[in-house]
Amino acid sequence: MVKYSITRLLQSAVTVLIVATIVFLLMRALPTDYFFTEEEVMKLTEQQKQDRLEAAGLNDPVAQQLLRFYNELLHGDLGKSRRIRVDKPVIEIIQERFPVSMKLGLISLGISLVLGIALGILQVLNKEGPLDHLGMIYTIFVNAVPPLVTYSLVLMFGAKVLDLPSMFSKRNELQSSIMPVVCLSLSSIAHYAMWTRRYMVDELNKDYLRLCRVKGMPTKDIMIKHVLKNAFVPLIAYIPASILFTIGGSLLVERFFGIPGMGPLLVDSIGRYDTPLVQGLVVLYASMSVIGVFLGDVMMTVMDPRIKLTGKGDTR
């Protein structure tokens, strides 16, 4: 297990490095105009522009820039932001933005785990009944309708009927967080409900359950001790990944409600050619997703000793 974890983590590190390199190279394919503000593009002479680029080290051969990037990364140095916040270390910018996204993400994750799994269980208990159909309609709606439309509907309802602020603000954090949290939770509730229902139905069709019934076990006990417990195993593999995913912040929700979180940072920093910041964020996001998958697999083996990761082949 330990040996497996070490190889797996080393592999993950290589993946992160490859991903960072690809994004690094793609960034260099952007026209350098994005390095300057619109005003600067018009006013600066060609020579001045070249000097600026030279000073930032952007005119060096790509290979040399790449080596410098690797070297800094090895020393744990993500560099300094160039455009979003001039000369502020990337780590500090992330530290500033991260808690905002994390708080909203964790709250909505907690809500959606509780509500989603509860909804899934209710649907199974009430299979083919009105509640099951209602849950299904909800799932279909969330899956099919573009999130932007759903968010807009939430916004309209929240602002008009409940009189909530339509933009996020630090001064009124509690009230203005309600709608973003609802938006973040809507789709993940549907997701968890759908998977809980599916795995529980799979489990219900197994032979050992008939034995449980035959020996006279009460339905409630069967549901909780056997079905839910076993259905939880595949479900738990997704949870770490989705924790890391949600605390990373949602681009759309944060843009939509004007939340100063991590989501918009990435797009903005690409748009303004802030290469150190982009690379820092990419390394962060890639590591989070790789670690999430890894933790999910580990948790699955902890929950269900029948699953072994050390064997070859696909573990999921």
Q: How far is the CB of 152 from other proteins (least distance, A)?
A: 5
Using CB under 8 A, which of 6, 10, 22, 106 touches other proteins? 22
Nearer to other proteins by C-beta: 23 or 78? 23
Give the contacts of 281 (CB within 8 A, at least 6 positions apart). 94, 262, 265, 266, 269
Using CB under 8 A, which of 107, 251, 298, 307 touches other proteins? 251
- Output 11-19 pairs: Cβ under 8 A, ≥24 positions apart: 12/287, 12/290, 12/291, 12/294, 15/286, 15/290, 16/283, 16/286, 16/287, 16/290, 17/70, 19/282, 19/286
Residues 89-148 within binding reach of other proteins (CB under 8 A):
140-141, 143-148
Burial class (CB in 10 A: 0-12, 13-18, 19+), 64: exposed
Among the residues of 128-228, which ranges form H helices?
130-144, 147-160, 173-204, 207-214, 219-221
Using CB under 8 A, which of 282, 283, 297, 300 touches other proteins? 282
Number of residues that bind other proteins (CB under 8 A): 40
x/- binding map, residues 227-246, to other proteins, per CB under 8 A?
--------------------
Q: Does 31 bind other proteins (CB under 8 A)?
A: yes
Residue type present at position 247: I
Q: Does 34 bind other proteins (CB under 8 A)?
A: yes
Contacting residues toward other proteins, per CB under 8 A: 15, 18-19, 22-23, 26-27, 29-31, 34, 140-141, 143-149, 152-153, 155-156, 159-160, 166, 251-252, 255-256, 266-267, 270-271, 282, 285-286, 289-290
